[in-house]
Amino acid sequence: MQGWNWNGFFEYLTNYYLFQGALVTLGLTVFAMTAGLIIGFILAVMRMSPYRILSVPAYFYIWIMRGTPLLVQLIIIYTGLPQLGIKFTVVESTLIGLALCEAAYLAEIVRAGIAAVPKGQVNAARAIGMRESQILRYIVAPQAFRIIIPPLGNSVNGVLKTTSIASVISMNELLRRTQVLIQEKFLVLELFVVAAIYYLVMTTIWELIQSRIEKRFGRGYGQMTPDMH
């Protein structure tokens, strides 16, 4: 039985191929959070609309995306849709899958933040003649943003690790590159530990950034805890 290979471990700890994979992982995370937040905001507004033609489709979308695994969604997008004549590349499938899935979770976070803004302030704004768009921009959005900072930060951390699921459809991110090297070098434990260290470093750096953002803009975790994945 082969033991632990320290030379292999240290060699791949600073491997450029894996470093590139980590950059791909970061890129996927940034895109998923940006696109997911935009779509999620739209879904949140629709979900809170008094008109069922808007609220029901938003509710149904959130229910579907949060109730099914991301892995299943990615497989449907990449291998299922081509049967209907809709074809996406691996990169396109990954970006679409991550963004659409994350949008459902972020929609609930945004909705919880908006709902937490005191109704009295909204009513007072209406009483002085402010339009709904002005109320959203100047009254609701700034306060909701401070409330949702902590759960948004947690979502970034979660998405960063969730991107590894895309390796199943051969997305060339960190975990997929790790698997490729394992097939070539047979350093299973060493390379998986290296990958774990890469993820740990990225999430730790983000936690430090998140902490600084929360101290400057956010409210405490104890004041708002929307449902997270």
Q: What is the pLDDT of residue 131?
A: 85
Q: What is the pLDDT of residue 201?
A: 97
What is the rounded radius of gyration, in angstroms, for the C-alpha atoms of the chain?
A: 21
For the chain, the structural domain boundaries read 6-221
Q: pLDDT in tens for each of the 229 residues of the chain?
A: 468 999 999 999 999 999 999 999 999 999 999 999 999 999 999 999 999 999 999 999 999 999 999 999 999 999 999 999 999 999 999 999 999 999 999 999 999 998 888 888 888 888 888 887 888 788 888 888 888 989 999 999 999 999 999 999 999 999 999 999 999 999 999 999 999 999 999 999 999 999 998 888 755 444 444 444 5
- With vertex at residue 157, the alpha carbon angle to CA 154 and CA 174, rounded to the nearest 5 degrees, is 170
Residues 6+ apart with CB under 8 A from 187: 5, 8, 9, 12, 181
Q: Residues of 139-178 as b/e, b for ≥16 C-beta within 10 angstroms?
A: bbbebbebbbbbbbbbbbbbbbebbbbbbebebbbbbbbb
Q: What is the pLDDT of residue 121?
A: 85
Q: What is the pLDDT of residue 42?
A: 95
Taking the C-alpha atoms of residue 218 and residue 210, their distance in angstroms, rounded to an integer, is 10
Q: Where are the alpha helices (DSSP H) in the chain?
A: 6-13, 16-47, 52-67, 70-75, 90-116, 119-127, 132-134, 141-162, 174-185, 188-217
Q: What is the pLDDT of residue 223?
A: 46
Contact 178, 194 (CB under 8 A): yes
Residues 6+ apart with CB under 8 A from 96: 77, 88
Nearest to 174 by CA among 24, 13, 30, 8: 24
Q: What is the pLDDT of residue 134?
A: 84
Assigned CATH for 6-221: 1.10.3720.10
Q: Which two tokens stand for residue 170?
A: 């051969």
